[in-house]
Structure 1
Amino acid sequence: MTTTTPLPKTAWWRRPWIVPLMLVVAAFLAFSVPPYLTFDPAHSRLEPPRGNDLYYPLLVAHVLFGTVAMATACFQVWPAFRARHRAGHRITGRIYVYAGALPAGVLGLYIGWHTSAGPSVLVANLVGSALWLVVTVHGLRTALLRRYDEHRRWMSRSFALAMSIALSRVINVPVMIVLTPQVDSAFGGNEELMRNTATSIGVWLSPLLLLLLTDWILERRKGRRPARERSAPEPAVVQQWSNA
């Protein structure tokens, strides 16, 4: 029988990104979700395709599942919550996967395929949704196989993809500012083409930036961890998925 020395706990205030992250997610959801709670297509931020009565209900479902994913993901990446509330971490993890990322990703494939924002946005949405599904399923698989260090890394990438929708909205603002003066020159006076181009830049760039940032952080932390810590079992998550 082997014993391991408990790792020192880090005070919540030494994780300065937790509170800003939750505030950003709360602000984004407060701005983005309410129009869809009316279940009125006239309030949709995405124009439903003509003659497709299935699009809007599935869009609402996609938004609601995505809301669940973004809200629960914040608790999944919160180290203090993960360490001190194992049952809560396990429950929110299952909610994130089964009631958030997976259904939102599947519906995202349909929504992306029927976008009216042009082929570049269509491909970006399909690639983003498919990648989110693959990364999340692989993260779940590594947990079931009890490869917990890999599990954390893959679910960190899943978290990054879940948050990319918020970053894309932020990116769209400066892109629109830059492209608007070029409507008559670069876009031949076509404002819709300019807006679609701005949207395309946002949906391609946001997941790329977040995945690069996530892997940089993961590699940086991996290099800082002592060898004995990297090889030690992680009791805080040992039972996370084994009782599913």
Structure 2
Amino acid sequence: MTLSKRWWRRPWVAPMFVVMVAFLAFSLPPYLMGGSRLPLREGFAAHKILLDVHIGFGMIALIACGFQVWPWFRGKYPKAHKIMGRVYVLGGVLPAGLMALVVSVTALTGPVGRIGNVMLSLLWLFMTFRGYKSARRRQFGDHRRWMIRSFALCTSIVLNRVWIILLLIGLQPWLDTHYGGSMDALIGDAAQASIWLSWTVNLALAEWWLDKGKGKAREKRGAVRETVGAAN
């Protein structure tokens, strides 16, 4: 089978990388220039440093996970897949997730947003660890399922930007009534809601995808049993 045919069988690969590159191109410049896209807590000098460390390792995790879910890359370069998997876990998720816990607790996103980010960080660390542990035990079916969940949580930061734009647009009709004309209050609610929607929706879609795969596997096993039964 040619690479072009494989491409048409996986039409989501190129858009995924395009979106990731666009996200990084939009999000990283302020941090590289010493600034930030997020408000920093006054009186906590380490907040900026921890946020920069989280962003740096998170970038590594985001790039690595894109290659990890690319079927052609996994099949063509299994050794590279294994090495990049370790980079994703040990050089991306682990430091980025631990820094995210501290940054989330001290963030200026309100209690609802802080809880959402803490839960996201804990689940990301837990599911990635389960996936890594499954691979070490050569339980590759479990490894795949846990890493799909990890991928969904890793990419939630990208979808967060989409959700917040949609929420800002959707909440505009209530600016003068519910929010009393306060754009800051509206943005605050949109930011907190986008935190939760970004990872809960992603994780729900991942579970749907996994359940869909199980359904196909059950249908295939059933068809095989029917064929064998008919032959007998």
Distance 1:189 1:115 in 2: 25
**Secondary structure of 1:47's aligned partner:** coil
Question: 1:63-212, aligned counterparts within 5 Å?
Answer: 63-212=55-204
> Residue 23 of structure 1 aligns with which residue?
18
The one-letter code matched in structure 1 to 2:202 is L
| Contact map agreement 1:164 1:207 (CA 8 A) in 2 | yes
What TM-score does the superposition give when structure 2 sets the normalisation length?
0.89
| Deviation, structure 1 residue 142 | 1.1
Residue type at the aligned position of 2:137: L
1:12 is matched with 7
The 2-side partners of 1:121 and 1:188 are apart by 22
Counterpart CA distance in 1 for 2:175 and 2:42 is: 26
Per-residue CA deviation, residues 95-136 of structure 1 (Å, 9 max, x unaligned), is 100111111111111111011121111111111111101111
Q: How far did residue 181 of structure 1 move?
A: 3.2
Q: CA RMSD in A?
A: 1.6
Q: Compute the displacement of 1:188 (Å).
A: 3.1
Structure 2 unaligned spans of 5+ = 222-232
- From 8, 13, 28, the counterpart of 1:33: 28
In structure 1, what residue type is equivalent to 2:155? M
Q: How many angstroms apart in 1 are the aligned matches of 2:209 and 2:118?
A: 26
Distance 1:150 1:91 in 2: 19
Cα offsets for 1:136-163 (capped at 9, x unmatched): 1111111112211000000110000000
* 1:221 shift after superposition: 2.1
Cα distance between partner residues in 1 of 2:215 and 2:78: 26
Letter matched to residue 207 of structure 1? W
Question: Contact 1:121 / 1:196 at 8 angstroms: preserved in 2?
Answer: no
Matches within 5 A, 1:218-237: 218-225=210-217, 226-227=220-221
Q: Is the 8 A contact 1:102 1:133 kept in 2?
A: yes
Matched, 1:47 2:29: no
Task: Spell out structure 1 runs of 4+ moving beyond 6 A.
Answer: none
**Unaligned residue ranges in structure 1 (runs of 5+):** 1-8, 228-244
